[in-house]
A and B are shown apart, each in its own frame.
Chain A
Amino acid sequence: MMQLIWDGLFVGSFYALIALGYSMVYGIIKLLNFAHGDLYMLGAFIAFAVLSSLGGIPASLSIGALLVVLLLSMLLTGTAGVLIERFAYRPLRGAPRLAVLITAVGVSFSLEYGVAALAGPNPKAFPIRLEGEVFNLIGARVSLPQIVLMIIAGLLMIGLNSYIHNTSTGRAMRSIALDRNASLLMGINVNSVIARTFFIGSALAGAAGVMAGAYYGKIDFLMGFIIGLKAFTAAVIGGIGNIKGAMLGGLVLGFVEAFGAQWFGGQWRDVFAFAVLILFLTLRPTGILGERVTERV
C-alpha cells in the first residue's frame, strides 16, 4: 500500500513537470502543443549527446554531472521550444484551430524523426545511471535517486510557481491568458512573453527527460509520445490552463496509475490512464481545479 503511494508520487511528479508546460502554453495561447512530449525526448537526447561526448564519468561525480547536464539540457530544450514557437506557431496565431493543431502534429513528427535520423532509431543506453541504496520508509521501498529526482522536480515546480506569481513577467503571462488584446494595449510585449512561456515549459519538459533518462537508463526517439499523452491527461485532470491544477493532476494520475496497474495488471496501465481521461472529459471537463469557461464569440 505504502509502496503504491510512493510509486504514484514518484511517477506523478514526472507527469506534473511535463503537464506544467502543456498547461502553461494552453493557458496563455490556447494551443495544444503536441510536440511537448517530444521536447521531453529532445531533452533526454541532448543530455545523452553531451554526456557521450564527455566520455566516462566516475560514479562519485554522477549526481553533480547530472545537475550540470540538466541545466544545459534545459537551456537547449527551452531554446528549441522558442524556435518552434517562432517558426511554426507564431505565423498561425490567427489561423483556424485545425491548421494550428495539424502544425503541432507536424512539429512533433519532425522532432521524432529528426532525432531518429540523427541518433539512429534504436534505443540508447543513457551514460549516467543513478544507482543508490534502497531503504525502507514507512513500509515503502525507496531509493536515494528517487528522492533526489523528486526534490529536483519539487524545486522546479516551486520555482515556477513563485515566478508566475511574484515577477512582472509572471504577471504579464497571467494577464495575456486572460485577455491578449487588452494586455497588448497595456504595453505588454506579448510576443516576447509568449516566447518566454514556451522557453520555460520546454525547459521543464527537457529537465523531466534528462531525469527520466538517468533514472530508467534507456532512451528512444518515441519515448515522448505516450508521456505527452499522459501529461495532457494530467493537465486535464487538474484543470487545463491552471498551474497548480497541473501539479495536482500529475500526482493524481500517478496514484491512479499505480493503483490501476496493481488491480488490473501492468499491461493495462496506459489504457487505464486514458479511460480516466475520457471519464474526466465526460463528467468534469474543466478538471478538479478548473473554472467553468464560457466560449466567447
Chain B
Amino acid sequence: MTENVDTTLAPKRVRPPSNWLSRLFESKQLGWIALALAVAIPFINATPYVLNVLTTAAIFVLLASGLNIVVGYCGLLDLGYIAFMAVGAYTAGIVSKAFELPLLFTVPVVLVMTILAGLIIGAPTLRLRSDYLAIVTLGFGEITRITANNLAITGGPSGIFGIPGILKIGDFDFQQPAVFYFVTVFVVAGMVLAAARLGKSRLGRAWRFVREDEDAAEAMGIHTYKVKLLAYIFGAIWGGIGGVLFAGHFSAVAPQSFIFLQSALVLMAVVLGGMGNTRGVVLGALVISLLPELLRDLAEYRYLAFGILLVIVMVFRPQGFWPARGYEPERVPTGDKEPAVAGGTK
C-alpha cells in the first residue's frame, strides 16, 4: 500500500509518460539541463538588465521551493511567507553593516533569526486548525512589514542601504553582477535540490502523510505537531537564505519589498506549478517572475488574471498544473535492516 489515498491510481503509476513533453519533464537530466541553461545565458546575453531580471527570478525560485516545503509537502497554507525573507534580509543587512562583514558571514545569524521567527509563529498556531495558521501568517507578514517600517534599527520607511557585498577575496569582488548571478544560481540550485531530497526523505513522507490525512498520520505514530513545525522551520530557513541573496542583490532593503502581494505571488508560483512537485514549482516560479517582464503592457490586468487563474486551477485542477506523481521509489527489502516502525514504511 502506498501513502497515496486513492489506491485505484496505483496501477497507473508505472506507465511511462506518453508524449515527448512529459517525457522531457520527467527525465532525470532535467535538473542538469536547467542548470546548464541558467549558467549559459550570461554567455549569450549579459546586459545588466538581463542579469538583474535573471538574478531576481533565481531568488524567486528559491522562495517558491521553500514555500513548497510548507504548502506543497505539508499542506499548511502560509500567506506571509515573504516575512521570512524580510527577517533574513534585514538581519543580514543590519549585521553586515554594523560589523562591516561580508554578507556571507551573516548566514549563521540569519538562520538563527529565521528559525526563531518560524518558532514564534508556528508554535502557537500549528496545534490549531490549519486555517488559523493561514490567517496568522497573513497577520505576521503585515506585523513584520509594519515593524520594519517603524523601528529605528531597520531604517524606517527608507530601509537599509549600502549593504556590503556578499564576499571579497583580495581584488576579486563577488558582487559584480555576472559573478553574483552565478553565485545565486548555484546557491539556488543547491537549495532546490536539497528541498527536493528533503521531500523524498522519511520526514518528507511524514509531511505528505500529514497533508493527506492528519488523523491517520497521528494514528500511525507520527508526531504531527513536531513534523508540521519542522516543515514550517525549513520553509523559514529557505526564506531567510532568499533574504540574504535579496540583500546582496539590491544592496538595500526596504519595507515596501515585503508587502502581501509578494507573498501571494510566491504562493501562486507554488500552486500553479503543482504543489509538492519541485520541477513544477521551479517552472511556476520562472513563469510568474519572468512573465511580467515579457508582458509589460498588460500590467494592470496581470494580478486580476493571476487571481482568476488561481480560482480556476483550484476548481478544475486542485493539484496544480503539474502535480507530483503519487509514486514512491520501489523499496527493495534488504533483510538486514530492522523494520521501520513509523514514517510511512509498511
Binding site for B on A (CB under 8 A): 32, 34, 87-88, 91-92, 95-103, 105-114, 116-117, 121, 225-226, 229, 232-233, 236, 267-268, 270-271, 274-275, 277-278, 281-282, 285, 295, 297
Contact = CB atoms under 8 A, between A and B. Distances in A.
B300 interface: yes
Contacts of A281: 124-125, 128, 132, 136
A281 to B, nearest CB: 6
A232 B314 CA distance: 23
Nearest to A111: B307
Contact of A103 (B143, B303, B311): B311
B303 A109 contact: yes
- Please report whether the interface of chain A is mostly helix, strand, loop or mixed according to DSSP: helix
B42 interface: no
Contact of A99 (B147, B260, B264, B314): B314
30 contacts: A88-B311, A92-B318, A97-B131, A98-B75, A98-B211, A98-B275, A101-B77, A102-B77, A108-B307, A109-B306, A109-B310, A110-B308, A110-B310, A112-B303, A113-B301, A113-B304, A113-B306, A116-B300, A116-B304, A229-B135, A233-B139, A236-B132, A267-B146, A268-B146, A268-B150, A270-B143, A274-B139, A274-B140, A278-B121, A278-B124
Interface residues of B, number: 45
A107 to B, nearest CB: 6
Given A98-B71, A229-B138, A281-B128, A110 B77 contact: no
A110 B318 contact: no
B189 to A, nearest CB: 27
A190 B267 CA distance: 32
Given A97-B130, A109-B303, A114-B304, A103 B315 contact: yes
Contacts of B215: 295, 297
A297 to B, nearest CB: 5
Contacts of B309: 106
Contact of B318 (A96, A107, A116, A271): A96
A101 B139 contact: no
A281 B128 CA distance: 8
Contacts of A271: 143, 146-147
Nearest to A285: B128
Classify the interface of chain B: helix, strand, loop or mixed.
helix
Contacts of A275: 143
A295 B75 CA distance: 18
A99 B150 contact: no
Contacts of B77: 98, 101-102
B271 interface: yes
Contacts of B139: 229, 233, 274, 277-278
A226 B260 CA distance: 11
Nearest to A269: B146
B260 A92 contact: no
B307 A113 contact: yes
Interface in B243-280: 260, 264, 267, 271, 275
Given A32-B131, A110-B307, A295-B215, 19 more contacts: A92-B314, A95-B318, A98-B75, A103-B310, A103-B311, A106-B307, A109-B304, A110-B310, A112-B303, A112-B307, A113-B301, A117-B304, A229-B139, A233-B139, A267-B150, A268-B150, A274-B139, A278-B139, A281-B136
Contacts of A107: 307, 311
Interface string B114-130: 00000001001100111
Contact of A102 (B136, B142, B310): B310
B300 A117 contact: yes
Contacts of B308: 106, 110
B287 interface: no
Contacts of B306: 109, 113
B315 A101 contact: no
A105 B143 contact: no
B134 interface: yes
A236 B75 CA distance: 23
B163 interface: no
Interface in B152-190: none
Contacts of B142: 226, 229, 270, 274
Contacts of A108: 307
A236 B211 CA distance: 25
Contacts of A121: 300
A232 B132 CA distance: 10
A107 B309 CA distance: 10
In the A-B complex, the 9 residue pairs with the closest CB atoms: A106-B310, A109-B307, A110-B307, A113-B303, A282-B124, A274-B139, A106-B311, A113-B304, A103-B314
